[in-house]
Amino acid sequence: MLVRPEITLQVTRGVTRLFTNLDWCHVTEMPLRTGRRVDVMAIDASGGIAVVEVKSDPADYHADGKWHEYLDFCDRFYFAVAPGFPREILPDDPRCGLILADQYDAVIAREAELTKLNAARRKSLTLKLARTAARRLSVLMDFSQEVPRVSA
């Protein structure tokens, strides 16, 4: 039986694969100016911003009431859960879409209602998303390549 962190990792992996297939650029564990972090934030080719809150099991959902705070930081908001998750406990709110995911792939089972961000917030989030992604790529490149030594 999988434990909560493994389920979260698998669902997140499926979501990021879906977004890659949709040509949406994404960042996991994206920090917000509020000090919170969203599980996945993505930007589509037209600049639309999506936020995904991954839930591993009912206890994870019931213990977390912060998802409402994320609605102000996206055009579309989704819960992402594994296929066996009891979907009836999720809110019946048109602003909340649903993604079903496993470690291999995901599907948008219910589209989220579009709620357009204002221009200033969109610009701020787009810049933060780009800078966060670039910073993480820089760190990966720094640790993945051997730096040539300079001889004196």
Tell me the per-residue pLDDT of 40-82, one tens digit each, with 9 for 90 and over.
999 999 999 999 999 999 999 999 889 999 999 999 999 999 9
Residue 55 C-alpha from the chain's centroid: 11
Q: Is residue 112 part of a domain?
A: yes
Q: What is the mean pLDDT of the chain?
A: 93
Q: So what's the pLDDT on residue 146? A: 62
Are 11 and 56 within 8 A, CB to CB? yes
66 found inside a domain: yes
Q: How far is CA 75 from CA 5, 13, 62, 113, in A?
A: 27, 22, 24, 8
What is the CA angle 77-101-56, rounded to 5?
80
Asked whether the predicted pLDDT for residue 150 surpasses 70, the reply is no
Judge whether residue 147 has pLDDT over 60. no
pTM: 0.90
CATH code of the domain covering residue 104: 3.40.1350
Percentage with pLDDT > 90 across the chain: 84
Q: Which residue has the higher pLDDT, 56 or 147?
A: 56
pLDDT of residue 61: 94
User: Domain range for residue 66?
Assistant: 4-142
Q: Is residue 114 part of a domain?
A: yes
Is residue 116 situated within a structural domain?
yes
Q: Does 20 map to a domain?
A: yes
Q: Is residue 151 part of a domain?
A: no
Section 79-90 average pLDDT: 97
Identity of the amino acid at 63: A
> Is 150 contained in some domain?
no
64, part of any domain: yes
How many domains are there within the chain?
Answer: 1
Q: How far is CA 119 from CA 70, 108, 115, 125, 141, in A?
A: 17, 26, 12, 10, 33
φ and ψ of 30, to 5 deg: -80, 120
